[in-house]
A and B are shown apart, each in its own frame.
Chain A
């Protein structure tokens, strides 16, 4: 069975602080994909990044960076110099097979509150 654990339920920071959101996953698949989604207060789900299991290169996109470590089954997300607009719930998700069809398993999410 697949599982995604986001141990941090809620994080509060002050603007301009750096913050890291943790994601640990379990899977028996040798090929899989990991995702991060953002859910702002408006409620929609916004795709942030996709990473496949063969690509352990870290990625940076502006203030966002992702650290994928297969050895520890972790795919952590760091926001540098956080801003109030970063306040949202962030979900980590893992692709996998259920009954032969590919689906996504989501973590329970981490609520990030950035105060001015």
Chain B
């Protein structure tokens, strides 16, 4: 099993460009999450999904959109990138059957917006 994978690993964008980050998991997990990590800020939840076709806002959703068309994939979109979105993005997943919410993380995507 590959676990949670993220594509791409690195990306540089210019202000105003758009892009989509792909998260894929092969563990048949229902719940998926997108976080951003900034220096000194820890991980902050952007959006999450509790099942195929459902998404919800987290702590810092502005400037991002998400989609969960397939259970195994969770896409994070930036429609018009801004320098403030320079960050490391982590995707995570977990099964709905556990109460303790241990999340399995992908390796991260480092995004720079110039």
Contact = CB atoms under 8 A, between A and B. Distances in A.
Interface of A: 4, 6, 9, 33, 35, 43-45, 47, 50, 52, 91, 95, 98-99, 101-104, 106-109
A13 B31 CA distance: 39
A103 B58 contact: yes
A103 B101 contact: yes
Contacts of A47: 102, 104
A40 to B, nearest CB: 12
Contacts of B35: 106
Interface of B: 31, 33, 35, 40-45, 48, 50, 56, 58, 88, 90, 99-105, 107-108, 110
Contacts of B108: 43-44
B42 A35 contact: no
A22 to B, nearest CB: 15
Tell me the dominant secondary structure on chain B's binding face: strand
A45 B48 contact: no
Contacts of B103: 104
A2 to B, nearest CB: 11
Contact of B33 (A4, A52, A103, A108): A103
B100 A103 contact: no
A45 B101 contact: no
A95 B108 CA distance: 21
Contact of B107 (A43, A91, A103): A43
A68 B31 CA distance: 28
A108 B42 contact: yes
A32 to B, nearest CB: 9
A41 to B, nearest CB: 13
